[in-house]
């Protein structure tokens, strides 16, 4: 049985780890990072409300649900109508690449106002095996004022029977998505302080 304790003392963290089996420092770091991430996601909900995921495509809910599980499902709200989008909350727009990327991306954002797009992220989902994924990221391919003003465009590799599978593309996009969420929290805290 593995037991561990973390004692916080001023300017120092001491780890006391003991057991029959060893626990690696990587596991401890991962555990601490997960706790920090959970707290930040909860702050998002408290400060700005749930993170919205706009999915105008029907039949693709599995990707959205799996993405939400990567974070904290209680912190997200799936929005299926552009009329239900709250302009004060973070917005992730899901785009499934089924034909031409430009056409699919334009269809995903067509009903969202330019002002709202500025603080939104487009999630481009490639429903393809690794060897069929594009060599260039979508943010280098999608051009035009609407795409250029968006906070970000992040790519995901996804297969129905595998889900969001292990790939550098997914690892990088999850990391960028966390950064977007954290940035949204910080900017709203600053805005709140300025108005006090």
CATH of the domain at 152: 3.40.50
Say if 107 falls within a structural domain.
yes
Q: How many domains does the chain fold into? A: 1
Residue 146 structural domain: 48-194
Model's pTM, two decimal places?
0.74
CA angle 93, 99, 105 (to 5 degrees): 25
Model pLDDT for residues 32-67, shown as the tens digit of each residue: 777 776 676 666 656 566 889 998 676 678 899 898
Say if 21 falls within a structural domain.
no
* Per-residue pLDDT at 20 exceeds 70: no
| Residue 184 neighbours by CB distance under 10 Å | 20
Confidence of residue 196 (pLDDT cuts 50, 70, 90): low
Greater pLDDT, 24 or 82? 82
Say if 25 falls within a structural domain.
no
Say if 172 falls within a structural domain.
yes
Say if 75 falls within a structural domain.
yes
Say if 23 falls within a structural domain.
no
Model pLDDT for residues 149-168, shown as the tens digit of each residue: 999 999 999 998 899 999 99
Say if 86 falls within a structural domain.
yes
- Contacts of the segment 183-189: beta carbons below 8 A, 24+ positions apart: 184/44, 184/48, 184/90, 184/119, 185/40, 185/43, 185/44, 185/47, 185/48, 188/47, 188/48, 189/47
> 36, 13 in Cβ contact below 8 A?
no
* Per-residue pLDDT at 12 exceeds 80: no
Say if 14 falls within a structural domain.
no
């Amino acid at each position: 049985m593995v037991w561990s304790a973390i004692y916080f003392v001023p300017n120092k963290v001491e780890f006391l780890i003991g057991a029959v089996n060893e626990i690696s420092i990587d596991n401890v770091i991962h555990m601490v990072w997960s706790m920090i991430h959970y707290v930040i996601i909860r702050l998002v909900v408290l400060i700005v409300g749930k993170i919205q995921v706009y999915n105008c495509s029907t039949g693709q809910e599995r990707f959205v649900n799996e993405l939400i599980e990567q974070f904290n499902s209680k912190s997200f709200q799936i929005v299926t109508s552009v009329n239900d989008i709250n302009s004060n909350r973070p917005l992730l727009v899901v785009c499934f690449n089924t034909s031409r990327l430009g056409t699919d991306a334009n269809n995903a954002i067509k009903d969202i106002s330019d002002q709202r797009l500025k603080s939104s992220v487009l999630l481009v989902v490639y429903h393809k095996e690794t060897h069929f994924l594009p060599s260039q990221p979508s943010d280098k391919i999608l051009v035009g004022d609407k795409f250029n003003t968006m906070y970000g465009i992040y790519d995901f590799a996804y297969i129905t029977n595998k889900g969001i599978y292990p790939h550098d593309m997914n690892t990088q996009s999850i990391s960028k998505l966390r950064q977007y969420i954290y940035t949204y929290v910080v900017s709203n805290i600053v805005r709140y302080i300025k108005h006090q």
